[in-house]
Structure 1
């Protein structure tokens, strides 16, 4: 039986990865900041992190934050994994981190580089944005009578459960380096996705495209975060909305 540690194991993705791995018969440890017995702030590291990785064969690193600290957290995790003799580190990243100069994307790319240079066996999977992320975004934006969206930006959302399945598969196998990206089944305009959300939730709002500026916006407009050649996802945004709001 393989012992696998899932960081961020109570989050949207990590929770599903842990469930898949347990269903496949693996011993799974869930690490998060507030969940015992492995309640650890990765940015701090220390004895609690060493205890979490002790005896672990594989680490699936799903923990992340958009408020900063991912690089420091990865450094602490890698140091602990080396000390514990972990054989395989699996990291989930984002499509476009090399092409979109967005701060969070740059941090994800920096962590990729840390993983690649860790001296551990490693696997990196890049995926497009999850349907859940779009729902949270539209929930916030639709509180006002007008939903403002970045004009001309496409997206290719994917069902998080499909990414979880792939991560669990990768975690159960040997280190594979950079594997093929995962993109959702459709490249869509942001406004079409927003209108689908509004229809599913019964909200009447005006959707307005707002032109922005800067290198990151230009990269998003030109599809730097898309992978149409790897549109391997099956579940559509409308199907996700139907399960979530109409079921």
Structure 2
């Protein structure tokens, strides 16, 4: 039986990866800051991390934060994984980290490099944005009477459960290096996604597209974060909305 450690195993993606692997009969350890018995802050490393990795064959690295520290966390994880003799390190990244000059994307790209140069067997999967992230952004924007969106920009949201399935499959396979990107089934304008969200939640807002400036906006407008040639996801944004907001925003089923 394979012993697999999932970092960030209580998060949106990590929780589903853990469920998939356990269903398939693997021993899975969940590592997060508050999940016992492997409650470890990766940014600090230490003896707790060594204990969590003892006897582990594969690590699936899902832990991440936009508040900074991903590179330090990855460096600590790689060092401890090498000490423990881990055979395979799997990392989930984001489509466009090498094309969009966003700080968080640059951090993810730096972690990719740490994984690739670790000396461990490794696999890196890049995915487009999850449906729930798009909803969080639109919910925040919809707090205003007018929903203002970046003009001429699109997205390609993917169902997180499908990414979890793919990641779990990679975890039980041999190290594969950089595997093909995973994108949602449709490239959609932000305006069309916003209107679907408003319809699903019963909100009424005017949608206004506003041109922005800067390198990051130009990269998003150019589709640097998209993978239309890898539109392998099946679940659409509307299907996700129907499940999550069957009764509107106030009566959503979480």
TM-score range, shorter chain: over 0.9
Q: Report the equivalent of 1:41.
A: 41
Deviation (angstroms), 1:207: 1.3
Gaps of 5+ in 1: none
User: Which residue matches 2:79?
Assistant: 79
Superimposed CA distance per residue, residues 6-50 of structure 1 (whole angstroms, 9 cap, x where no aligned partner): 000011000000000000000000111111111111000001111
1:133-173 C-alpha deviation (Å, 9 max, x unpaired): 00111111111211121111110000000000000000011
Using the alignment, how far apart are the partners of 1:149 and 1:7 within structure 2?
34
Q: Look up the SS of the partner of 2:245 in the other structure.
A: helix
Question: TM-score when scaled to structure 1?
Answer: 0.99
Q: After the TM superposition, which parts of structure 1 deviate over 4 Å for at least 4 consecutive aligned residues? A: none
Structure 1 equivalent of residue 106 of structure 2: 106
CA distance, structure 1, for counterparts of residue 142 and residue 37 of structure 2: 39
**Distance (whole Å) between structure 2 residues aligned to residue 43 and residue 212 of structure 1:** 35
Q: 1:150: which partner in 2?
A: 150
Hey, what's the Cα distance between the residues in 1 that align with 2:210 and 2:35? 40
2:183 corresponds to:
183
Residue aligning to 1:141: 141
Helix, strand or coil at the partner of 1:4:
strand
The TM-score normalised by the length of structure 2 is 0.96
Q: Which position in structure 2 is the counterpart of 1:208?
A: 208
Distance across 2 between alignment mates of 1:190 and 1:32:
33
- State the partner residue of 1:26: 26
Q: Please state whether the residue corresponding to 2:86 is helix, strand or coil.
A: coil
Give the alignment's Cα RMSD to 1 decimal. Answer: 0.8
Residue number in structure 1 paired with 2:131: 131
The number of residues matched between the two structures is 247
* 2:89 partner SS: strand
1:153-164 residue pairs with structure 2 within 5 A? 153-164=153-164
